[in-house]
Structure 1
Amino acid sequence: MILAIPSPLGVALGIATAVAYGITAAASSWLSRASTQWMLALAWLLHGCTLADGLTGGGPRFGWAPAISMTAWLVLTVYGIESRLYPQLKIRRALAALGAIAVLLAVLFAGTPLHVAASPWLPLHLALGIASYGLFGAAVIHAWLMTRAERQIRLAAETQSGVPLLTMERLTFRFVAAGFVLLSATLLAGIFFSETLYGAAVRAWKWDHKTVFSILAWATFAVLLIGRVRFGWRGRTARRVLYAGSALLLLAYVGSRFVLEVVLSRTPA
């Protein structure tokens, strides 16, 4: 099993970030909204410093756990912006718990060094892919909030999301559309410029697990957007397609890297 350890500073930052997220999750029920927001902002800032150390300290590293950590940080970034527009949104505890788990995973599985022959453009390519992960992650969280709100409405209970369902639905599909654009750009760059990004030793195209799952995820999201525009998909049908596409996308990079790094104890090419 690969247990690559980040720099001592990265370990300290990771532990401090997880503690800050944990305190935020535990205290959000009895602290004021303003206090909880400040604590979550501190944890988010520490999280960003942890990610920066992983990409620069002791040489850039990347892997399945750092990808999850970056996705969680981007989801929290989206929430920070969105909470200014919709202050009634109530998901701070769940996001803080997600952030703590993601950071601890990245401390335990710090990833592997980036390819020595990689292009300076490779970090941009990776950033596009992780940004699409973050946007689809935000869409999944909004879809989950919609499911929870609908269940509470059926039970004649007060909804906990604090945002009208139609507004939540519009936000969900906006995140899906933006994520689809970034995912398309990531796939096109990988298909046509892989030799430039990873070095001449890497083949321009190969049918591996990451490629297959990525294309399947892209096709699923394309079907979702077409179904939304052409057939007015919404509610449970749209959410199921969104969950399916997100699961395929998670398997594409995170799943394949997890198998290589942890199950097979191999360093990805």
Structure 2
Amino acid sequence: MNLLPALWSNPPAALLSAVAALSYAVLAWAHPRMTAKQIRAALATAWLLHLLVLVTGLFEQPARFGFAPALSVTAWLVLTVYLVESRLYPQFRARWTLAALGTITVLLALIFPGAPYPALRSTWLPLHWALGIASYGLIGAAVVHAWLMQRAEKAMRQGTAPDNAMPLLMLERLTFRFLGAGFALLTATLLAGWWFSEALNHRWIWDHKTAFSVLSWLTMGILLWGRWRLGWRGRMAARTLYLGAGFLLLGYAGSRFVLEVVLQRAQ
């Protein structure tokens, strides 16, 4: 696959993406030697550059979208949640991991900018995409919190948890709050997809994206029910969340990766 057209079709945008990825990478590498204030400033700077990359992509003609831009937007949303939460909970720490995530997703979107969409079949389709990406972001935030919850639980068992560590119950509550919000948006995404499919194709189209998205919806619905009725928590809840998030990742990003990279088909 020839990557040069993707990298140099828009040199200013490519340069901005490279700077944003480098900002994240420097933070991931240098954070042990930085103060908390310096880390927050560096992450906010990288976050802002990432936002500029996303906004620049909106004005490209024709518009492009694919698995890598979807992952890039998702990572930015997760980082947005972290920046807000780190103000409310200073002990909330996942900086180098999120910085590495930002580096990878920005570079992926630079190399694989997605397929062009010269014309939309419906002016309401961007709403469907926005709902889907928002659900990706909230469920991604839930996954990050579940990972931190497992780390905190392991540290408590080993007696290595710092005194100012994030309370385990708070991490658990935040995990399920983000999961509940993400599940609601995923439900709205599936309903909007069904409506658009009926309006444009006069039938519900069952493809890989739809099947994996429904599997994700069912998995997360079962998890929320288990939490509410059976008190599911800890390792079992986290693993079920990871499974549901994996299905969701395969739903759009995985399917588009196969089309764009493996099969090299635009649509």
Give the TM-score band, short-chain normalised.
over 0.9
Map of 1:15 onto structure 2: 18
Equivalent residues of 1:91, 1:161 under 8 A apart: no
Residues 116 and 171 of structure 1: is their aligned pair in 2 closer, same or farther, counting only changes over 3 Å? same
Please report how far the alpha carbon of residue 159 of structure 1 lies from its aligned counterpart in structure 2 after TM superposition.
4.4
2 CA distance for matches of 1:204 and 1:25?
A: 47
2 CA distance for matches of 1:7 and 1:162?
A: 44
Please report how far the alpha carbon of residue 113 of structure 1 lies from its aligned counterpart in structure 2 after TM superposition.
1.2
Residues 161 and 175 of structure 1: is their aligned pair in 2 closer, same or farther, counting only changes over 3 Å? farther
Please report how far the alpha carbon of residue 215 of structure 1 lies from its aligned counterpart in structure 2 after TM superposition.
0.4
Task: Figure out how many residues of one structure are paired with residues of the other and give that number.
Answer: 264
Map of 1:123 onto structure 2: 126
Bigger drift between 47-56 and 252-261 goes to 47-56
Bigger drift between 50-59 and 180-189 goes to 50-59
Equivalent residues of 1:210, 1:253 under 8 A apart: yes
Map of 2:186 onto structure 1: 183
1 CA distance for matches of 2:155 and 2:121?
A: 50
Of 87, 101, 106, the residue aligned with 2:104 is 101
Equivalent residues of 2:197, 2:205 under 8 A apart: no
Residues 184 and 224 of structure 1: is their aligned pair in 2 closer, same or farther, counting only changes over 3 Å? same
Equivalent residues of 2:28, 2:97 under 8 A apart: yes
Map of 1:147 onto structure 2: 150
2 CA distance for matches of 1:29 and 1:160?
A: 19
Name the % identity: 56
Gaps of 5+ in 1: none
Q: What's the RMSD between the two structures over aligned residues? A: 1.7
Is 1:205–2:204 an aligned residue pair? yes
SS at match of 1:28: helix
SS at match of 2:119: coil
Please report how far the alpha carbon of residue 204 of structure 1 lies from its aligned counterpart in structure 2 after TM superposition.
3.9
Residues 30-61 of structure 1: per-residue CA shift (max 9 Å, x gap): 11111111111111011011111222223211
Residues 12 and 82 of structure 1: is their aligned pair in 2 closer, same or farther, counting only changes over 3 Å? same
| Pairing of 1:188-267 with structure 2 (within 5 A) | 188-194=191-197, 200=200, 202=201, 204-267=203-266
Map of 1:42 onto structure 2: 45
Equivalent residues of 1:27, 1:36 under 8 A apart: no
Equivalent residues of 1:66, 1:111 under 8 A apart: yes
SS at match of 1:120: coil
Map of 2:60 onto structure 1: 57
2 CA distance for matches of 1:57 and 1:133?
A: 23
Equivalent residues of 1:63, 1:112 under 8 A apart: yes
Equivalent residues of 2:62, 2:118 under 8 A apart: no
SS at match of 2:213: helix
2 CA distance for matches of 1:192 and 1:91?
A: 39
Please report how far the alpha carbon of residue 85 of structure 1 lies from its aligned counterpart in structure 2 after TM superposition.
0.8
2 CA distance for matches of 1:94 and 1:88?
A: 15
2 CA distance for matches of 1:59 and 1:160?
A: 53
Equivalent residues of 1:7, 1:58 under 8 A apart: no
Map of 2:172 onto structure 1: 169
**Which amino acid in 2 is paired with 1:219?**
L
2 CA distance for matches of 1:94 and 1:26?
A: 10
Gaps of 5+ in 2: none
TM-score by length of 2: 0.94
Equivalent residues of 2:51, 2:76 under 8 A apart: yes
Residues 115 and 125 of structure 1: is their aligned pair in 2 closer, same or farther, counting only changes over 3 Å? farther
